[in-house]
Amino acid sequence: MSEEKDEELERLKKEKMEEIMSEKGGGDFPETSVKVTDDNFREVVDEYPLVVVDFWADWCDPCKRMEPIIEQLAAEYSGRAVFGKMNVDQNRRMPQKFGIASIPTLIIFKDGEPVDKNIGLVRAEDLKRKLDSHLD
């Protein structure tokens, strides 16, 4: 019985993902992080159902340690979520709008709205758990 429920859950997830992808333009999800700027911010977070924006800087050691985690998850979650990176030294408006005072800061956007935030270095497993909670 449990196996049947698992199969049904997987079928429903697949159907929902197909529905989302068709609504969002056919599922053209990048497999690596995308560069997010003050100018393209709204376009990026509105284009995909789930977007993680990493606010970072070149001089920030924890940000550098976060980068391989972001790239790993960008590949793993391609088709379900998009990962963007915004350099806070080159972009001021959006970090100020979202009250970014410490980096790295990750904000998860669902349907264009912020739904979760993490300040500091985060383990891949913890970030995956947060992402999974926002995937419908």
Per annotation, catalytic residue among 17, 21, 60, 124: 60
Q: Kindly state the average pLDDT of the residues 38-49.
A: 95
Query: How much is the pTM?
Result: 0.79
- Beta carbons of 50 and 74 less than 8 angstroms apart: no
CA dist., res. 40 & res. 38, Å (int):
6
Q: Is the pLDDT of residue 27 over 60?
A: no
Amino acid found at 39:
D
Confidence of residue 16 (pLDDT cuts 50, 70, 90): low
CA dist., res. 88 & res. 100, Å (int):
9
Q: What angle do CA 123, 20, 48 make, to 5 degrees?
A: 55
Please report the pLDDT score of residue 28 as a whole number.
Answer: 77
Parallel, antiparallel, or unpaired for β 50-56 and 82-87? parallel
What is the domain class of 27-134 according to CATH?
alpha beta
The candidate with the shortest Cα–Cα distance to 103, out of 65, 51, 54, 45, is 54
Model pLDDT for residues 55-102, shown as the tens digit of each residue = 999 999 999 999 999 999 999 999 999 999 999 999 999 999 999 999
Give the sign of the dihedral formed by CA 49, CA 55, CA 58, CA 61.
negative
Q: Which residue ranges make up each domain of the chain?
A: 27-134
Q: In this predicted structure, which of 16-20, 27-31, 47-51 has the lowest mean pLDDT? A: 16-20
63 flagged as catalytic:
yes
Per annotation, catalytic residue among 34, 52, 63, 100: 63
Amino acid found at 117:
K
Helix (H, G, I), strand (E, B) or coil at 102: coil
Q: What percent of the chain has pLDDT over 70?
A: 87
